[in-house]
Amino acid sequence: MRETHRTPGSGPETVLARLETYYDAVPRFSARTEEHGPFTLFVRTGQGWHYYGRPALGAPGVFTPEDVERVRARQRELGAPESFEWVHETTPGLRAAVEATGLEVHEHPLLVLDLDAPSTDGSAAADSGPAVADGPEVRVLAPDDPLLPAAVTLPHLAFAESGTRIGAAGPEQLAEAVKNPETEAAATRMADRIAAGRTVLAAAIGPDGGPTASGCHQPVGEVSEIVAVATLPALRRQGLGRQVTSRLVEHARATGVRTVFLSASDAAVARIYESVGFRRIATALIAEPPAAG
């Protein structure tokens, strides 16, 4: 069994408390908040994406189905999705109240990487560096990078063919998808977030000069979440997502981030991140109405 040395303050309870503060802070950059009993409801401003309800930071952690129903009624009134997000180990009593209202709960492994925590076998944070020399170029995109529209569009193709199997969509399909009228607005929103320092977007560059994989990290102070790491389905199983993740971690470390975390879609994806030093500490839960049919 390998021995892992961690810095003070890197235990699971301390890290989870740090993540709760992060979860409460991030939506506030582009959403207003409403307090509904033990919940904070984040309500989008402008044309960005919709947000969700979360346990209020510092709340006592007691929830009833009636509390959940009140938030859902407000979400319907606002035309927002009836969704909630939380960490099970931090708020274990919420799941039963949510499920009692008929919402479906999805589980996602929550993993962290402590950038100050070396490992005796070299398998921890120190290994999550830049891509190998003979790999593709992986670069952080500026707000005016011409690849930005394609890098923003790429995850939509990837998540439409979920999982890790090789799929159909490749560079040709991406070039066609970029022509969607909504692409320009999405790219503009991303450019604004990059310029404001709220999102860092990296992309692996293919032989044709277009992105083959992309992903983001969203820093707040010394904590950042890696999100939307995606590879074109036709190009999976070449290590592209791993190389994008490594570049994001490298950038986070260089800019003062000490804790990087992410929620994996499932256990298979979690194992990929564990291979580059992430460790699972909890389970992130997302609740929403059951899919039709």
Write the pLDDT tens digit of every residue in 222-281: 999 999 999 999 999 999 999 999 999 999 999 999 999 999 999 988 998 998 899 999
- pTM, full prediction: 0.87
Do 67 and 181 lie in one domain? The reply is no
Residue 127: the pLDDT is: 39
Residues 6+ apart with CB under 8 A from 57: 20, 21, 24, 40
Range of the domain at 22: 1-114+277-293
pLDDT, tens only, 180-196: 999 999 999 999 999 99
Do 285 and 252 lie in one domain? The reply is no
Q: How many CA atoms lie within 13 A of 255 on its CB side?
A: 19
**Strand blocks (E) in 126-179:** 138-140
Do 4 and 57 lie in one domain? The reply is yes
Residue 117: the pLDDT is: 62
Who has greater pLDDT, 50 or 103? 103
Q: CB–CB of 154/214 below 8 Å?
A: yes
Distance, CA of 240 to CA of 78 (rounded, Å): 39
Do 14 and 53 lie in one domain? The reply is yes
The mean per-residue pLDDT over the stretch 43-63 comes to 87
- Categorize the per-residue pLDDT at 10 as very low, low, confident or very high, splitting at 50, 70 and 90: low
Who has greater pLDDT, 61 or 133? 61
Question: Per the domain annotation, does 214 fall within a domain?
Answer: yes
Residue 212 has pLDDT above 60, yes or no: yes
Question: Per the domain annotation, does 281 fall within a domain?
Answer: yes
Residue 183: the pLDDT is: 95
Do 53 and 104 lie in one domain? The reply is yes
Average pLDDT of the residues of the chain: 90
- Categorize the per-residue pLDDT at 116 as very low, low, confident or very high, splitting at 50, 70 and 90: confident
Residue 8 has pLDDT above 50, yes or no: no
Do 144 and 256 lie in one domain? The reply is yes
Residue 211's DSSP bridge partners are 205
Residue 163: the pLDDT is: 83
Residue among 233, 266, 227 at smallest CA distance from 245:
227
Do 86 and 137 lie in one domain? The reply is no
Residue 47 has pLDDT above 80, yes or no: no
Do 4 and 80 lie in one domain? The reply is yes
Question: Per the domain annotation, does 133 fall within a domain?
Answer: yes
Question: Per the domain annotation, does 122 fall within a domain?
Answer: no
Instruction: Decide the pairing of beta strands 223-231 and 259-263.
Output: parallel
Question: Per the domain annotation, does 163 fall within a domain?
Answer: yes
Highest mean pLDDT among 5-19, 54-68, 110-124: 54-68
- Categorize the per-residue pLDDT at 115 as very low, low, confident or very high, splitting at 50, 70 and 90: confident
Question: Per the domain annotation, does 57 fall within a domain?
Answer: yes
Residue 223: the pLDDT is: 97
User: Which CATH number fits the domain that encloses residue 140?
Assistant: 3.40.630.30
pLDDT, tens only, 66-82: 999 999 999 999 999 99
Instruction: Decide the pairing of beta strands 31-36 and 39-44.
Output: antiparallel
Looking at the 3D structure of the chain, how many domains does it have?
A: 2
